[in-house]
Amino acid sequence: MPIAEQPRTITVADGAVSAAYTRPDHPAATLVVAHGAGAGMDHPFLAGFSAGLSDTGVASLRFNFPYREAGRKFPDRPPVAIAAWRSAMDHAAALAGDHGDNGNLWAGGKSFGGRMASMAVAEGMPAAGLVYLGYPLHPPGKPEKLRDEHLYGLTLPMLFLQGSRDTFATPDLLTRVVSGIGTNAVLEWVAGGDHSFTVAGKKRAAFDVGAAAAIPVAAFILSRVVPQP
């Protein structure tokens, strides 16, 4: 039976944002998940992703950025998004503490959400590791405008899960960037997947696509869980 999500509210600088907490019994780790620029935390892909994580023993906390909570279309500027990330991680840590969980706390997200997670970590936000669900390395058709500067100083485990047809990351460029980060960064391709991980010729609901994406992510996290005292 699927694990029911628990609605949560996270206090941020200028108010509050919605969140959804999914926790299996005795989770080995918790992944805090942020949405992409064009969809909120309730998008079926992310709902399926959280469900897939719970099936593998990983808890998750999805949250909205302030702009999405307010019904705006244009994403928050990095300082606002990074502040929201810090609040979400603090909230997840408190939830884990309330349940007596001592598993590692990871950060990640879809596209914009994952990029903002990495920027927050680069500015000092603690996390056991990072997960990118389609890292937006450059705008479509503009490979010269790379968004990679802050990545090279990150030494924590990182998984880049990327569709091979993703127009936001030219394959050879992303391969070069991940290689340049170091051995702590791993790139895993979804063959034929676009920025939404939709594979041409395969008709699947977004929920199921998200659940499938959770499998390699959970495997990566669980293989790097650090025992806590």
Note the pLDDT tens digit of each residue in 182-215: 999 999 999 999 999 999 888 899 999 999 999 9
Burial of residue 124, with CB atoms counted within 10 A of its CB: 0-12 exposed, 13-18 middle, 19 or more buried: exposed
Question: Of 166, 167, 172, 181, nearest to 129 (Cα)?
Answer: 181
How far CA 103 is from CA of 19, 83, 85, 109, 175, in Å, comes to 20, 23, 19, 19, 30
21: left (phi over 0), alpha (psi -120 to 50) or beta: beta
Kind and range of the H or E element at 215?
Answer: helix 206-222
Angle at 39 between CA 7 and CA 95, to 5 degrees: 30
- Asked if residue 32 lies in contact with residue 1, where contact means CB atoms within 8 angstroms, the answer is no
Question: How much is the pLDDT for 14?
Answer: 82
Query: Long-range CB contacts (< 8 A, 24+ apart) of 178-187?
Result: 180/152, 181/151, 181/152, 181/154, 182/155, 184/154, 184/155, 184/156, 184/157, 184/158, 185/151, 185/154, 185/157, 185/158, 185/159, 185/160, 186/157, 186/158, 186/159, 186/160, 186/220, 187/160, 187/162
3-state helix, strand, coil in the chain (%, to 5): 35, 25, 40
Whether residue 83 is predicted with pLDDT greater than 80 in this model: the reply is yes
Q: pLDDT by residue (tens digit) across 157-189?
A: 999 999 999 999 999 999 999 999 999 999 999
Kind and range of the H or E run holding 186: strand 185-190
- For residue 126, the model assigns a pLDDT of 97
For residues 110 and 203, the model is more confident at 110
Q: What pTM value is reported for the model? A: 0.95
Dump pLDDT digits (tens) for 7-60: 999 999 889 999 999 999 999 999 999 999 999 999 999 999 999 999 999 999
